[in-house]
Chain A
Amino acid sequence: MLSYTIRRCVVALLLAVSVASLVFFALYLVPGDPATMLLSVGGVEPPAAAVQALTEELGLDRPVLVQYLDFLGGLVTGNLGQSFANGDTVWSMIAVRLPRTLELIALATAISLAVGVPAGLAAALRQGRTVDRLFSFTASVQMSLPVFVVGTAMVYIFAQRLGWVPAGGYVPLAQDPARHLVLVLMPALAISVGFSAIVFRMSRATVASVLTKDWVRTARAKGLAEGRVRRWHILRNALGPVATVVGLEMGGLLGGSVLVEYVFNYPGLSGFLVTAIENRDYPQIRGTVLVIAFLFILLNLLVDLLYMLLDPRVRD
């Protein structure tokens, strides 16, 4: 198991570097010059001399291959470079954003699991009955609601109409814990609307298929308590595919929660990446994509390891 884990980790690292290299070269195919973009914020023309000076300052006048080697060299020493926009190191900027995004994703996942798995189990055990139909119908509605619609409606109702919460934003935990929690809970709930429905559908389907297995009948026949059968025989066997789906969803949220971040003005990693792309801030884009790719791969690795814990057969 250890060698398997190490092998997977090495592959993960190589994958992340390949993704970053791909992004590196793709950026040069996208029209738009970083120096011009940086100096012409707000759609006003920068003087040509200033653009030239900045191009040299940023090292963009060097051959692409030299820039690429520079980038790889930086990677080896753990240096992601400096942002074109403000000269801060890319790593320090990501380090500020990443925990916020991870917190948001963790909270959204926790809510979705807490709602989706029990609901899925309940529906599967009562297939075709009213509860099942009601839950399945609700889940379909939830899945078809775009997150920006849910988010906008939440801001409108809870912030503008009822005045219970601020209209989005972010406050560090240390500064005001209650406000911090409210501000991260709003986008987390918006994400969970669709996410919990996915978890529900997956749980329902896998539990339903496990229920038809012979050993479930055997377990019941030998007189095990129903609660024990559900927890140890049904749920544990059904959770594998759910873990896979949750892992993929979480990975997708790393760079894909941009809409919800916009609606709630939540300063996470996705919005940061979009801004970097708009500004053609190459080091920032590369660094962020690299980190997201790495985390995505890591998440999948964790899911695989979790699989092993859930299902001893995979370990061999």
Chain B
Amino acid sequence: MRNRVIGPKSIPARVAAAAMLALPALAASGPVIAQDNAVLRFGLSAYPPGLDPFRHEGAAGHDVKLQIFRGLLGLNGSGEIVGELAESWEENGTEYVFHLRQNATFHNGEAVTGEDVKWSLEQIRAEGSTAYFKDELQVITEVEVIDDSTVRIKLDAPTPAFLKLLATPYVPILSREAGLEDPVGAGPYRITATEEGVAIEFEAFDDYYKEGYPKTERMRMIAYRDENLRVAALEAGDVDIIEYVPWQSMAKIEDDPDLTLQETTGPNMVLNFNVEQPPFDDARVRRAVCNAINRKDIVDAAFYGRGAPLEGLPLDENSEVADDKTQTLFGFDMEGASAALKDSGATGQEVTLLSSSTYSMHQDTALVIQQYLINAGLQVTLDLPEWGARVAQGNEGQYQFAVNGSGTVVNDPDGLTAMIGSGTPSYKRSYGYSNEELDALLKKGRHELDPEARAAVYDEIAQIVAEDVPLCPLTRRTQGFGLRQGVEGFHALVGSASGYSAFGLEAVTLD
């Protein structure tokens, strides 16, 4: 079933007639839009801005890079860590030993060896590196090549998130021989052709280390920047899978018997504050704001009901520390919020909420918040610049409070450090916020290996967040993939792993 978008009457009869005369002649030949079963066609949300193996280049970048490069570890369809180039591994506090697969080869035919692992990790950590995980991997003190297929990695402190970091697209192992100029990886596919700004063609790598994979011989990734056109391409049968299904189209895809929607929770929306200026230098005001918003309305207005209110730490839904103590810190209480604003002397003050007109979800979220805060007694005006300007304003602290999309890079509570810990000013953090007690606890949580002790640390962190409100959690939004009937073996991953779902494209079959 499909909803009518725009009635056919809105087209001038003349153009319609002309097009009707011209198009069937071209389309009648049939194969023009016929589906080729040997090729998996994936609708990207953008053409990757680049294919640097270590940089962060957006969701589309991950989709492509995960096909050509692989690291030591990866994620299976349930989001669990599995071996990629590493067949097995042992961990002992600060020491990890990885055993590489004997049959792993790079696309240039060379075997993947311990030296390649060492070299790749060195490139990420090197002085002047622009790798996304440059800071994260400074925890490594030594990479020792025991033999061709065994590597020992030593860390300067126990780090429970370490394996999770390796199981992302950010730590690929590359051929040392080939170097960085023209990087060569060991992924399931190799690129055979690119049409700049349009599409990338892949062909299965015959010597891929997993027997029988990839399941589909050829793959074509086509960029559709316009979200509605991406959906139209899926409906028209131009592609088999699309990423980032827009929320307004999710119901339509669910109702279509020819299509399937795989929907999981993805990143979160939060409010950040500039704590160097009144009124948000006062924790009471921040807390009042956080209790004055009915989050359900944001889910409904900005996300078409696709998501859930977020009342606690902005962690993945399936985080190991997500429990009542960390997930229920704030709630909607208009009377309490109004009274608290009055007590702190903020009632009637003029404040500006920064958001961005580039993304409707950011803008709509800001509109809902504006209404609730006006009811609570604040005079809120909106500042809605384009995204690039909004990021710059955020980094420079040119705002009072701001709507933000937020998520951890991997499903680990240590991701909170980047959001509420002290550090260089960034639009992802509340400007000027620093809390020594919180910093100490975050550091403790980062290096605590015992799961129970670790959960207790984050319970304590949650208590401080509830009191001091370094950020205000708003909603958990969902992320959707659209699939055509007959596409099997694809699993959309949950939460922070959602963007890494392309790990599983090697298992997809078409019927």
Contacts and interface: CB of A to CB of B under 8 A. Distances in A.
Contact of A152 (B6, B22, B29, B222): B6
Interface stretch (A8-16, A138-146, A206-214, A288-296): A138-146
A265 B225 contact: yes
Nearest to A44: B56
A85 B196 CA distance: 13
A85 B49 contact: yes
A169 B2 contact: no
A118 interface: no
Interface stretch (A34-42, A68-76, A226-234, A306-314): A34-42
Contact of A49 (B59, B134, B232, B395): B134
B27 A164 contact: yes
Given A32-B389, A193-B15, A278-B387, A185 B22 contact: yes
Nearest to A159: B236
A299 to B, nearest CB: 24
Interface string B381-415: 00001111101110100000000010101000000
B1 interface: no
Interface in B194-219: 195-199
A86 B132 contact: no
A32 B129 contact: no
Interface in A123-159: 138, 141-142, 145, 149-150, 152-159
A272 B197 contact: yes
Contacts of A109: none
A134 to B, nearest CB: 10
A85 B50 contact: yes
A265 B33 contact: no
A6 interface: no
A145 B12 contact: yes
Contact of A56 (B8, B59, B128, B405): B128
A31 interface: yes
A31 B388 contact: yes
A168 B428 contact: no
B392 A33 contact: yes
B223 interface: yes
Interface in B221-238: 222-226, 228-229, 232-233, 235-238
B106 to A, nearest CB: 22
Contacts of B226: 262-263, 265
Given A30-B389, A267-B198, A167 B232 contact: yes
B55 interface: yes
Interface string A49-82: 1100110110000000000000000000000000
Interface stretch (A176-184, A215-223, A238-246, A249-257): A176-184
Given A85-B49, A93-B196, A163-B237, A153 B388 contact: no
Given A156-B5, A167-B229, A267-B197, A44 B23 contact: no
Nearest to B426: A45
A172 B195 contact: yes
Contacts of A247: none
Contact of A50 (B58, B130, B232, B385): B130
Contacts of B27: 164-165, 182
B5 A193 contact: no
Given A39-B55, A40-B56, A47 B134 contact: yes
Given A42-B59, A265-B229, A50 B15 contact: no
A300 interface: no
Contacts of B49: 38, 41, 85-86, 279
**Which of B10, B129, B358 counts the most chain A CB atoms within 10 A?**
B10
B11 A154 contact: yes
B427 interface: yes
Contacts of A142: 12, 14-15
A203 interface: no
A120 interface: no
A87 B49 CA distance: 10
**Which of A167, A264, A271 counts the most chain B CB atoms within 10 A?**
A167
Contacts of B51: 86
Interface string B146-186: 00000000000000000000000000000000000000000
B424 interface: yes
Contact of B130 (A31, A57, A157, A168): A57
A48 B424 contact: yes
Contact of A160 (B18, B59, B197, B235): B235
Given A32-B389, A85-B49, A160-B236, A169 B198 contact: yes
**Which of B58, B197, B405 counts the most chain A CB atoms within 10 A?**
B197
Contacts of A145: 10, 12
A161 B130 CA distance: 47
**Which of A176, A193, A265 counts the most chain B CB atoms within 10 A?**
A265
B24 interface: yes
B389 to A, nearest CB: 4
Given A56-B128, A189-B15, A272-B197, A32 B391 contact: yes
A178 B58 contact: no
A82 to B, nearest CB: 12
Interface string B220-263: 00111110110011011110000000000000000000000000
A22 interface: no
B18 A189 contact: yes
Interface string B14-48: 11101100111011010011000000000000010
A257 to B, nearest CB: 14
B357 to A, nearest CB: 13
A53 B128 contact: yes
Contacts of B387: 43, 278
A159 B198 contact: no
Contacts of A272: 197
B31 to A, nearest CB: 8
Interface of B: 2, 5-6, 8, 10-12, 14-16, 18-19, 22-24, 26-27, 29, 32-33, 47, 49-52, 55-59, 61, 128-132, 134-135, 195-199, 222-226, 228-229, 232-233, 235-238, 358, 385-389, 391-393, 395, 405, 407, 409, 418, 424, 426-429, 499
Given A45-B429, A262-B229, 11 more contacts: A32-B389, A36-B392, A37-B391, A45-B418, A50-B130, A153-B10, A156-B8, A163-B33, A170-B198, A185-B26, A271-B197
9 contacts: A41-B58, A53-B128, A96-B197, A153-B11, A157-B16, A165-B32, A168-B229, A267-B47, A267-B198
Interface of A: 30-33, 36-50, 53-54, 56-57, 85-87, 93, 96-97, 115, 138, 141-142, 145, 149-150, 152-161, 163-170, 172, 176, 178-179, 181-182, 185, 189, 192-193, 262-265, 267, 271-272, 278-280
